[in-house]
């Protein structure tokens, strides 16, 4: 492992994805157990993407009092049937939520008639249960959750909102190596529900996990561009307690 610092962001680079996922799970589980010594329960927001596979597989094997953790996810597609494997809630249920017994799991639902009411429902939950830990991915366009550059506002007044997805984001979902992908761009939803940038940033601890060659440009921009809404993930460099875990593939443009 090699390590670097960019502003306040601690960056850890591992040789392989399994090493990265295991190391992230070790450190996140240690933080969870540390917080559970101080609180009756804690609140964790999870990212849902194949980039999280190794981390989540390792995390679910950890000795953690899961019954004292409330689980949330940060985004969801609009207008997709509730049993579809592409839904982020279903992905998280498959790889984590069904393996351990949380205090409560709070799912977003993008297949409802009143999306505004659903956004408000989830926003009320986020206010009731402030985030102790957020687990993030970084999109190929540097998005955090579904805050693509054109809708990523660092001072967003909303907590949860409906967004339209940019083309680069939608094409990222058409990936033959992704076991929860769509088969064609026409199948990828055009809209989603997402937690906004301030809600993600306000988490006490932030852990971003972003391996793979397809993330190399995003990681380069995250660490080399000025902090700006055009590259949402650059904001991680201002977070006081954030760590970015990457592998040699996603770090390949940094050298």
156 pLDDT more than 80: yes
- 83 or 23, which is more confident: 23
Q: What is the pLDDT of residue 181?
A: 74
Q: Are 52 and 88 in contact (CB under 8 A)?
A: no
What average pLDDT does this structure show over 4-26? 98
What average pLDDT does this structure show over 88-108? 97
Residue 70, SS3? strand
Of 85-89, 136-140, 178-182, the least confident: 178-182
DSSP 188-219: S-SEEEEE-HHHHHTSSEEEEE--SGGGHHHH
Residue 101: Cβ within 10 Å count? 11
168 pLDDT more than 80: no
Residue 213: Cβ within 10 Å count? 12
Nearest Cα neighbor of 23 from 157, 42, 15 is 15
Longest Cα pair distance anywhere in the chain, in angstroms?
A: 49
Q: What is the pLDDT of residue 179?
A: 46
- 158 or 173, which is more confident: 158
Q: Are 174 and 185 in contact (CB under 8 A)?
A: yes
Report the distance separating Cα 222 and Cα 225, nearest Å: 6
pLDDT in tens, 30-71: 999 999 999 999 999 999 999 999 999 999 999 999 999 999
Average pLDDT along the chain: 94
Report the percent of the chain where pLDDT is more than 70: 98
Report the distance separating Cα 234 and Cα 66, nearest Å: 31
Q: What are the structural domains of the chain? A: 2-247 (3.40.50.1360)
User: Which pLDDT band holds residue 180 (cuts at 50, 70, 90)?
Assistant: low
Report the distance separating Cα 226 and Cα 118, nearest Å: 35
Q: What is the pLDDT of residue 176?
A: 55
Structure tokens at 178: 């992704």
Contacts of 178 by beta carbon, 8 Å cutoff, 6+ apart: 50
Q: What is the pLDDT of residue 175?
A: 63
Of 147-151, 167-171, 207-211, 242-246, the least confident: 167-171
pLDDT in tens, 193-252: 999 999 999 999 999 999 999 999 999 999 999 999 999 999 999 999 999 999 999 999
Q: Are 244 and 9 in contact (CB under 8 A)?
A: yes
Report the distance separating Cα 216 and Cα 251, nearest Å: 6
Contacts of 113 by beta carbon, 8 Å cutoff, 6+ apart: none
Report the percent of the chain where pLDDT is more than 90: 86
110 pLDDT more than 90: yes
Report the distance separating Cα 166 and Cα 232, nearest Å: 14
């Amino acid at each position: 492992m090699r390590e670097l610092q960019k502003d306040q962001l601690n960056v850890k680079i591992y040789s392989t994805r399994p090493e990265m996922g295991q190391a992230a799970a070790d450190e996140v589980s240690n933080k969870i157990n540390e917080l559970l010594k101080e609180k009756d329960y804690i609140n964790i927001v999870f990212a849902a993407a194949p980039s999280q596979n190794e981390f989540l597989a390792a995390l679910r094997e950890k000795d953690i009092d899961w019954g004292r953790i409330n689980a949330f996810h940060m985004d969801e597609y609009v207008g997709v049937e509730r049993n579809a494997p592409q839904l982020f809630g279903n992905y998280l249920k498959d790889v984590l939520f069904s393996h351990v017994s949380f205090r409560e799991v709070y799912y977003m639902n993008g297949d409802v008639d009143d999306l505004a009411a659903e956004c408000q429902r989830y926003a009320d939950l986020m206010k009731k249960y402030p985030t102790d830990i957020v687990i993030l991915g970084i999109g190929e366009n540097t998005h955090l959750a579904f805050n693509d550059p054109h809708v990523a506002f660092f001072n967003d007044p909303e907590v949860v909102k409906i967004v339209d997805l940019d083309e680069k984001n939608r094409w990222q979902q058409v990936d033959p190596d992704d076991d929860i992908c769509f088969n064609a761009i026409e199948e990828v939803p055009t809209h989603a529900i997402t937690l906004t940038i301030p809600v993600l940033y306000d988490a006490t601890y932030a852990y971003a996990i972003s391996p793979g060659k397809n993330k190399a440009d995003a990681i380069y921009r995250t660490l080399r561009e000025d902090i700006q809404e055009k590259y949402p993930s650059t904001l991680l460099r201002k977070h006081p307690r954030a760590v970015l875990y990457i592998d040699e593939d996603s770090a390949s443009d940094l050298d």
